[in-house]
Structure formats: structure tokens, C-alpha cells
Amino acid sequence: MCGIVGIVGNRPVNQAIYDALTVLQHRGQDAAGMMTDWNGTFCTRKKNGLVSDVFQQQHMDELRGNVGIGHCRYPTAGTLKSSEAQPFYVNSPYGIGLAHNGNLTNSEELKEMLVQQDRRHLNTGSDTEALLNVFAHELQCQGTERVTPEAIFAAVAAVHRRCRGGYAVVALIIGYGIVAFRDPHGLRPLCMGRRETTRGIEHMVASESVAMDALDFTVVRDVLPGEAVIMEIDGTLHSRQCGERRSYTPCIFEYVYFARPDSIIDRISVYKSRLRMGERLADKILREMPDHDIEVVIPIPDSSRTSALEVAHRLGVKYREGFIKNRYIGRTFIMPGQDQRRQSVRRKLNAIDLEFRDKNVLLVDDSIVRGTTSKQIIEMAREAGARRVYFASASPPVRYPNVYGIDMPAASELIAHGRTERQVQEFIGADWLMYQNLDDLIRAVRYDNGDITHFDTSCFSGQYVTGDVSPEYLARLERERSDRAKSQREGKRRRGPFEILDQASDELTPATPGPRAHTG
């Protein structure tokens, strides 16, 4: 999961893009990048780290121009390579920079075709670079000396034919403007807005509406599945449906966890969705445990607060903040390794003993993915003096990998995969465990928008809307992208690129390159 932004303005856009990226920082904390067009020259800065660390004053001074794109990266395969920070760039045709949010499910096939058939060189293992080269190749095939909307729309249509998976894209074409498009299923979010100034109209696209709110842009609408939007440097706007809309199925996990509560995605309020998740979760608790002895409801900060508040209200018990969060520690779910996630929980959260001591507490979280974080939090609650600790998840059991840009690819690392809810309860150490029903989750999210009746619920249901996710594909992801595989690749990297020690034989053997990352 990443955050993307693109702005065509009538004044320098570097500060606006910076501000937008800080608002989208929750979508990715591994790396950040910005690219602007200044009189036909690309000005670029990208590096590992948070937005505030990547862009210092000297970098901002060099990012000149009234048109630009930005990106904050979340590593879907857990790698920390600065070479895979975005945006990426190719000089032919015209000069194109591109950033994207999501993951291509046919990236290996694309890379092979790009090298062997399209004769294009790939410098990294990132599927963003592959997507950029597909777009660049198809634009070059249009054979036009100058960039035209028709050529761009034709190139985007070809991208939709060749690329599969979930993706939202911003591309900067030098001397021309910005192109933004979304996959034909609408899996990854993308919205557009405008701002009136004394100098004219400015246009913007971003992953979430909250970025536009922060910059005083008015949200116009969402970019539709399969649609492309062109924002020329002079402010001219073009849009076209470039691919057949195969479905309108946004990822439901955006509403559960990733998106900020003050965002509106596909005309659905994230905040109100989470309120309704809490309502339906409380109703299930009352059905299954009508004589409950819950004395206080405590959320696991931050994304479960909204649901927990409604659970407490509906149960008629106290709502209390029992954990204080260290805001200088990143979101543990999106940290690249299990060791980092485990070490960060107690550094990130501290229990307020007075809210737990001698009480029966219900902890509410947005989801349970690997289970280790939930287990530690329950241990903290008991250490703080809780008499009984109940646990409720605002979403159903996460049993299957998400392959469209969220780093939960290895089924064996999902605590609910192949286990009953009772077994999960025993693992995390709860006195009682309650999951949201999938049907209730869907009803809670779709309430606001009659146009969207289905969502991608693959991590809960195992049903993948793109139709190309086979058991063999999932098995390959398991081999390549589990925490164990990541740590092995990191170990090889630290020991050097040329040879590694074979611990079984104590002999030096040639190093085997590890699988490359799919970023987005």
C-alpha cells in the first residue's frame, strides 16, 4: 500500500506535494519521492525514510516547477532498497516519470515480455518499473511526434490489456502534464480535485480525499475503474474510459485499516463505515453473549477507535483509552519484518493501569493478521491488572493472502489460516474472542454508495476478483515473500553479493540471487 499524489498548478507545487505526502504518510513509511517538471527538466528527490526526513530545505529548493508527482512507499515484499523508491523514470518517449500504488499479479510475465519482446531494460525488480515501461512502450507505439490525448488514452488502454492486478497510477510527462489512471476493478483508490486561485484553476489527484482537504482542494470525484485522466500543464482536463470496467470492487481493507477515518473513498465515508462496523460487531456480541460481564471497552489505537466507540455505546458500557501510543513509532502492520513488528509493539503502546485494574475489559481492534501483536497487547492488559480480557475484531478472520498491494502474502503467517476461531483465541491468550461476520462488514461499508455493491474481500474470503490468482501463484508468493524468505535475502545481502557461507557444509558456495520485490 502506498500513497500517491499529482498536482498541476500555476505556482510551484513542491510544498503542496510535500504537505500531501505528510497527510498520506500512514499509507507508507519506507520511502518517499517527488518529481517536478521545471522548464523541460525533471527535478527528482527520493530516498528511504519518512517524508520529513527525505525532503530537507536544500531538496525543496531544487524541486522547482508548477507540475509534479509524489509518492510514499510501503514495501509489499518487505525490502528496504532505496533503488526501488519512487517515482521511476524513463527517457523514451518524451521523458516519463511514474509512481503507483498497488501490485501487479502478472509482473514476472510482464518483465519477461518487456525484455525479450519490447527490448526494454529493467534496472530493478519493482513492478512499478515494469508498469512504467509498459506504458512508455505503448505510448511510443502510437508513433506521434508530439504527445496527444488520443495517444495517451490508447497507451493506457493497452496497459489495461497487458497488466493485471490492482493499481492506481500517476505519471508525469515532461513538458505536457500528468496522467492518472486506475485498474479496471477499482481495487486501489484514486480521487481528483480542483482549486480556484487568483491565477486560475489547479488540478490534483491523490490516493485519499484527506490530502485534498489539507490543501484546500475541492474533491470533484473518484477516478473510475479503467478510466484515465489527463491534466495538461495549461490546466486543460481530459478524461476517458480506456478499459472495460470489469467490476467496481474497491479493496475493503482500505476501510478496515489503511485509510484515514476522515477520508472518503469511492463516495464512502471511512469514518461512518467504521462506526457501522462497531454497531454490527456489538449486535453480534449481544446475540452470542447476552449476559456479558464487560465493564469497559478499550480500543487498540488508532484505526479501531471509531468502531470501539460505537461498540461501547451499543453495549451500554464505558469507553476508555487504555493504551497510550508513541506517535514516533510507525504502524507495526506495515513494518517489513516480523522481528521489527514484535519489537515495536511495547515501544509503541503503554497501558494505563487504572483503566485495567480489576476489570473485565473488551479490547477492540480493526483486525487480527499475524496474531503476535494481539497476543502481546493481551499480555500487557493482564500485566496492568485486568481480571478478564475479551478481544473483538471489527473484521472477519484474515485467512488468505492479499495480492493487490498489502503485505500479507504468506498464508502460513496468518494466524487464522487453517485454524478455528477457538484456536486463534487460545493462541492470543484471550478469555473470549469475537470476529465480525463478512456479510456484516460488507453491509457496514457499502451503506453510503448504491453504485458499489461488491468489494474485494480476498483476504477474508479467498475470492480474487481479477480471476488470475491460482494456487501455484500463491505458492510462489509463499516461497518468495514470507518473513523467512525476506530474512534469508537480507542475510545474503549483508554477507555480500558474491558468496555466502553454506552452514550445512561449511563451504563457500556461489550466492543465488533472491526473488525481487514487488512494490506499490
Asked whether 377 and 363 are in contact (CB, 8 A), the reply is: yes
Specify which residues 191 forms β-bridges with.
206, 222
**Range list of β-strands (E), 177-314:** 177-182, 191-197, 200-206, 218-222, 227-232, 237-241, 264-265, 268-269, 296-299
Phi, psi of 511, rounded to the nearest 5 degrees: -70, 140
CA distances from 385 to 174, 355, 357, 359, 513 (A): 61, 9, 4, 8, 50
Give the whole-angstrom CA distance, residue 265 versus residue 191: 8
Tally of CB atoms within 10 A around 389: 24
Give the whole-angstrom CA distance, residue 393 versus residue 278: 9
The burial of 237, by beta-carbon neighbours within 10 Å (0-12 exposed, 13-18 middle, 19 or more buried), is given as middle
Give the whole-angstrom CA distance, residue 355 versus residue 322: 6
Asked whether 164 and 87 are in contact (CB, 8 A), the reply is: no
The catalytically annotated residue of 2, 43, 163, 242 is 2
252: nearest Cα among 465, 508, 474: 465
- 191 noted as active-site residue: no
> Cis before residue 93, ω within 30 degrees of 0?
yes
Residue identified by cell 471511512 is 270
128: nearest Cα among 168, 160, 95: 168
The distance of Cα 73 from the centroid of its chain, to the nearest Å, equals 9
Give the whole-angstrom CA distance, residue 330 versus residue 334: 8
Residue numbers annotated as active site: 2
